[in-house]
Amino acid sequence: MASVESRAEISSQVHMSQDVSRDCSIEQVEEVQEDSLQDATVTSTGSDSSSTSSTSSDIQYKIIEGSTVRRRMKLVDSRGYTYTVKRNTRKGTQWHCPKRNKQVYCLASVFQSGDSYKRGVHDHLHPPEPGQDLVATIVSRIKDKAVNNLFDPAGEIVEDILQNQISVDQPAPTLPSIDALTRCANRARQKMVPDEPRDLLDFELDESFLPEGFLYKEVMRRRAGKKHFIFATSEQLQYLAKGKRWYIDGTFKLVRAPFTQLLSIHCFLKKDGVTKQSAVL
What own/partner pairs with CB < 8 Å and gap ≥ 24 does 233-241 have? 236/280, 236/281, 237/280, 237/281, 239/267, 239/269, 239/278, 239/280, 240/265, 240/267, 240/280, 240/281
Domain ranges of the chain: 58-193, 207-279
pLDDT band at 111 (very low <50, low <70, confident <90, very high): very high
95, pLDDT greater than 90:
yes
Which fold is adopted by the domain 58-193? Answer: N-terminal domain of TfIIb (2.20.25)
Q: How many angstroms separate the CA atoms of 188 and 268, rounded? A: 36
**pLDDT value, residue 107:** 92
Helices (H), 64-210: 132-148, 154-165, 178-188
Q: How many angstroms separate the CA atoms of 220 and 238, rounded? A: 25
207: which DSSP letter? G
Instruction: Give strand pairing partners of 88.
Output: 93
Mean pLDDT of the chain: 76
Residue 125 identity: L
Q: How many angstroms separate the CA atoms of 115 and 154, rounded? A: 36
pLDDT band at 173 (very low <50, low <70, confident <90, very high): confident
User: Can you tell me whether residue 19 is helix, strand or coil?
Assistant: helix
Given CA atoms 26, 28, 30, 32 in this order, what sign does their dihedral have? negative
10 Å CB burial of residue 150 (0-12, 13-18, 19+) is exposed
Helices (H), 110-263: 132-148, 154-165, 178-188, 234-242
148, pLDDT greater than 50:
yes
- Would you put residue 251 in left (φ > 0), alpha (ψ -120 to 50) or beta? beta
Query: Starting at the edge strand that comes first in sequence, how are the strands of the sheet with 274-279 ordered?
Result: 247-251, 262-271, 274-279
pLDDT in tens, 17-75: 444 344 444 444 444 444 444 443 333 333 333 333 334 568 888 888 887 877 788 89
131-148 burial, b at 16+ Cβ within 10 Å, e below that, comes to bbbbbbbbbbbbbbbbee
